[in-house]
Amino acid sequence: MSRASIVIVGGGVSALAAAWELTGGADGPSELTPRVEVIEASVRCGGSLATTTFSGRTVDLGADGFLARRPEAVSLVRELGLDDQLEAIAESGAWLWSRGQLHELPKGLVLGVPTTLESILHFRGVSWRGHLAAKRDALAPARLHVGDDATIGEITRAKLGRELSYQFIEPMIGGIQAGRIDELSAKSVFPALYAAAQKGGSLMRALRPTNSSNVNDTTPVFYSLADGVGSLPTHLVTRLKERDVVIRTGVAVTALRRTPAGSYPLEVDTFATTTPANGVILATPATVTTSLIGSYDPDLDALGRIDSAGAAMVTFSILRANVTLPPRGTGILIPLGTQWSGEGSLMVTAVTFLDRKWPRLRSDEDVLLRAHVGRSDDARWSELDDDALARRVSDELAFLLPKWSAPTDSLVQRWPLALPQYRVGHDQLVDRARRASVHYGVALAGNSYDGVGVPASIGSGRRAARDITALIGGAG
């Protein structure tokens, strides 16, 4: 019997994780391991996970950390033998710009949603109306039927009111997803909130952690890597090549064709080559997936409805004498529509104190911080060139932070259409597409489907590898 062939289209971390799983994962290859080929259209693998040198330090251009208490990323790092590269986050906590000043966020939040009445009653960044809404949820909670799905905003507005929803909760959730809580699916983006709403009664009480076994858990909330999270794809590529995985970059896939009369049921075309395959993993944005296989089935074509938001990050180095930061915490959240002394509302949605989060970035001379701009309905950043965007963001930081003046250097990183928007019914749309893809020898992976974070993307890739292995008859 000839060796099975699996082609992975896309070269992001989901694709690389799929290749790792297909070649044996922690155990390594065996005589049953298929031939694996990764085809990536850009000049490098890793997608939005990348690093660069800035102000004499290695900084991430995409995600600078990943959840430590989700297993997917940590397990992969350890399988790669990179345990000593794990770097725990050095601080916790954040601040919210509200009512004209910074307020330290209370403890006990779950993605911005308070879980105790006491925590919100002592928070001065919320008006008496917000406090009253929290009291109502604790003492006489509103009834709500969420059905098969609901937006995050529908749930939080009904239970906690408009002020807490838009000035408190949306800055946290919307900042992670670059979206709006009135458009994002609770079931897909915030399943714990959806489950809490299904229980009825107080939303805060239903979200409150009840597992006492975690009380003494010393696991940090986030990890990074010594050379940045963006080094993970580089390590993966090196190890995959050692396993004889074929990795082609700068090559676009032009077609995925079924060949029922051939020795292999599928062929993957580029402009110059054709690769036969028993199975294909499409670790591509949903719109690319649709362009390749949308004509096969209406449920696959429906993936084109998964739209994405763009965002940009502006990283600054500034002398410590030229800025005053809050005394604690790793950053600031800014509600959408916040007015300031300049033109229009603030573009900045969050500020990250990079050198507080990660000890390797600390310096006695300067501070490294990063401002985030862009949401699904705010693309003003895309209309400015890098210099103009850096100036605008610097002006906004001068409004938010005392003494801010004369940053020594700046770096603009743009990620157009990098964050898929999970709208109501997203889980059902993806489930239907996956059921349809099986009939064509295809598995789906990536942040268009199973979550936008690093652990979720890795898990999505490994799941696709298991799915395709089962589909072609245990060839891995």
What is residue 220's predicted lDDT score, i.e. its pLDDT? 87
What is residue 1's predicted lDDT score, i.e. its pLDDT? 52
Q: Which residues of the chain have pLDDT under 70?
A: 1, 211-217, 474-476
pTM of this structure: 0.95
What is residue 176's predicted lDDT score, i.e. its pLDDT? 85
Question: Can you list the domains of the chain with their CATH numbers?
Answer: 5-48+231-306+422-471 (3.50.50.60), 108-212 (1.10.3110.10), 307-420 (3.90.660.20)
What is residue 212's predicted lDDT score, i.e. its pLDDT? 47
What is residue 214's predicted lDDT score, i.e. its pLDDT? 53
CA pseudo-torsion sign 362, 373, 288, 296: positive
What is residue 213's predicted lDDT score, i.e. its pLDDT? 46
